[in-house]
């Protein structure tokens, strides 16, 4: 399948999905060079390209190709700075820089992780607070959607009266009012729908961020250890 010619966007999507899957399979089997080749060939426009970049980074580190590994990892931090992939990329960058004796850059990478995960942050409480907030927001969204359905039903009822060859003036006036009301409702409905979509996306991003920080609460410790090692080796280099 991955050898099929790319003749459309849909074909490209299928091929890239297959390459990503094969890359992960080869990585788990320990064939890191094959995994890297599949990850490398994935299109930059693919929705999971950041995963391909991270896969490239891991595959290269496993082959101890530290210099080559830096490029895809830096691409993650620049193109996808607010993702879980970026957090992991900084850890891998720290390892690469340590292996290459580039201690200042290793320290900078670990410092970013330390800043991301404050020492005294209670992530269990943070997660609980976020979940409570999200629950309230979801209830509010449900109410918004209910209100929206009511508005749409009003819109259906606000249909101008047709079928009269010679309408009285008062009917014409009423029809204009109804049409104006209908236009106003349409505008309001469109704005509410856009607002609901935006809120739902924000809620999902907050939930993902909260869960990620809770799961990775020990990363600060690893980063502090890496930084201490880099500082020691940098001092020994003098």
Render pLDDT for 188-221 as a digit per residue (tens, 0 to 9): 767 766 766 776 677 676 666 666 665 565 677 7
**pTM, 2 dp:** 0.60
Identify the H or E element spanning 61.
helix 49-62
Instruction: Please say if the pLDDT value at position 5 is more than 60.
Output: no
Q: What is the per-residue pLDDT for 211?
A: 60
Q: What is the per-residue pLDDT for 63?
A: 96
* Domain 9-119+218-237 classification at class level: mainly alpha
- Spatial contact of 88 and 78, defined as CB atoms under 8 Å apart: no
pLDDT, average across residues 7-33: 87
- Whole-angstrom distance, CA of residue 156 vs CA of residue 174: 16
Looking up tokens 């600060």, which residue turns up? Answer: 220
C-alpha distances in Å from residue 194, one per residue of 69, 167, 182, 191, 234 = 41, 38, 18, 5, 53
Confidence label for 115 from pLDDT (cuts 50, 70 and 90): confident
Sequence-separated contacts (24+) of 183-186 with Cβ below 8 Å:
185/151, 185/154, 185/155, 185/158, 186/155
Least reliable range by pLDDT among 6-20, 35-49, 212-226: 212-226
How high does pLDDT run on average in the chain?
78
Instruction: Please say if the pLDDT value at position 56 is more than 70.
Output: yes
Q: What is the per-residue pLDDT for 208?
A: 67
Instruction: Please say if the pLDDT value at position 142 is more than 60.
Output: yes
- Tell me: the pLDDT tens digits for 77-108? 999 998 889 989 999 999 999 999 999 999 99
Instruction: Please say if the pLDDT value at position 64 is more than 70.
Output: yes
């Amino acid at each position: 399948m991955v050898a099929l010619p790319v003749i459309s966007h849909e074909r490209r999507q299928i091929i890239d999905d297959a390459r990503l899957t094969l890359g992960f399979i080869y990585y788990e089997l320990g064939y890191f060079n094959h995994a890297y080749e599949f990850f490398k060939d994935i299109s930059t426009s693919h929705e999971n390209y950041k995963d391909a970049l991270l896969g490239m980074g891991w595959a290269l580190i496993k082959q101890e190709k530290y210099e080559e590994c830096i490029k895809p990892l830096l691409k993650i931090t620049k193109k996808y700075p607010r993702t879980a992939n970026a957090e992991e990329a900084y850890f891998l960058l720290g390892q690469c820089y340590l292996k290459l004796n580039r201690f200042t850059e290793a320290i900078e990478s670990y410092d970013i992780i330390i800043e991301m995960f404050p020492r005294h942050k209670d992530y269990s409480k943070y997660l609980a607070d976020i979940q409570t907030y999200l629950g309230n927001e979801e209830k509010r969204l449900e109410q918004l959607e209910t209100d929206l359905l009511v508005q749409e039903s009003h819109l259906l009822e606000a249909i101008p009266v047709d079928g009269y060859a010679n309408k009285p003036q008062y009917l014409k006036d009423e029809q204009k009012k109804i049409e104006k009301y209908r236009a106003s409702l349409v505008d309001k409905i469109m704005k509410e729908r856009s607002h609901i979509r935006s809120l739902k996306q924000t809620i999902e991003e907050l939930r993902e961020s909260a869960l990620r920080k809770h799961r990775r609460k020990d990363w600060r410790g690893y980063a502090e250890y890496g930084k201490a090692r880099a500082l020691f080796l940098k001092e020994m280099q003098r």
